[in-house]
């Protein structure tokens, strides 16, 4: 096989062609070097008719592969960024279990309250009624409603916390 004489003129000509076919990539010379290494490896097993065409085509393919791999890396990076930005507001399983247990304790504690205190507490905390509305329904003063709510809150806190 004939050995190519690679002079500077031929190299610059090939480099211009590689730059043109790879859209003026800054690493065109690196691509041409890599293509030249591939040509050297390939020539050992197969006859290459047009070495210049082989070099240009190989450099172009290397550029395309690099672009494609870069795009995949960018997509993976974007996916990873997206996945890490997703927040799950759902409580952990252990937190949910603990909350259910506290709720059961609150329900048991509510059953221990006096009926009137329980009803006033639930009207305020669950139904969202204001003290004055509850007071008018029961015919009592707002301070009495406030005392029932405070008494129920204090008892339930102690009951749930195990005081």
pLDDT score for 77: 66
pLDDT score for 67: 75
pLDDT score for 35: 83
The CATH code for residues 93-161 is: 1.10.10.10
- What is the full per-residue pLDDT of the chain (163 aa) written as tens digits? 344 555 677 888 888 887 877 776 677 888 888 888 888 887 778 887 888 888 888 888 888 887 777 665 666 666 666 666 666 677 788 888 988 998 899 999 999 999 999 999 999 999 999 999 999 999 999 999 999 999 999 999 998 887 6
pLDDT score for 41: 81
* Cβ-proximal residues to 58 (8 Å cutoff; 6+ apart), any chain: 34, 35, 38, 39
pLDDT score for 96: 87
pLDDT score for 2: 42
Distance CA 108, CA 37 (A): 80
Give per-residue pLDDT as tens, 47-86.
878 888 888 888 888 888 877 776 656 666 666 666 666 6
* Cβ-proximal residues to 62 (8 Å cutoff; 6+ apart), any chain: 31, 34, 35
pLDDT score for 6: 53
Global pTM exceeds 0.75:
no
pLDDT score for 76: 65
pLDDT score for 110: 92
* Cβ-proximal residues to 106 (8 Å cutoff; 6+ apart), any chain: 156, 159, 160
pLDDT score for 119: 96
User: Which residue bears the tokens 């393919």?
Assistant: 61
Angle at which helix 142-161 crosses helix 131-138, to 10 degrees, equals 110
Distance CA 65, CA 73 (A): 12
For the chain, the domains span: 8-85, 93-161
DSSP letter assigned to residue 2: P
User: Which residue bears the tokens 């450099």?
Assistant: 59
């Amino acid at each position: 096989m004939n050995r190519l004489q690679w002079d500077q003129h031929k190299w610059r000509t090939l480099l211009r062609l590689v730059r043109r076919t790879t859209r003026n990539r800054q690493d065109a010379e690196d691509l041409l070097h890599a293509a030249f290494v591939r040509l050297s490896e390939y020539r050992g097993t197969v006859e290459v008719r047009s070495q210049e065409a082989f070099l240009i085509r190989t450099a172009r393919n290397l550029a395309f592969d690099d672009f494609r791999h870069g795009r995949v890396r960018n997509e993976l990076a974007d996916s990873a960024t997206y996945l890490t930005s997703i927040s799950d507001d759902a409580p952990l399983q252990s937190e949910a279990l603990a909350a259910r247990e506290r709720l059961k304790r609150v329900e048991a504690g509510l059953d221990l309250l006096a009926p009137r205190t329980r009803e006033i507490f639930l009207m305020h905390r669950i139904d969202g009624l204001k003290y004055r509305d509850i007071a008018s329904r029961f015919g009592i003063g707002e301070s009495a409603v406030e005392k029932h709510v405070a008494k129920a809150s204090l008892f339930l806190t102690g009951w749930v916390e195990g005081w």
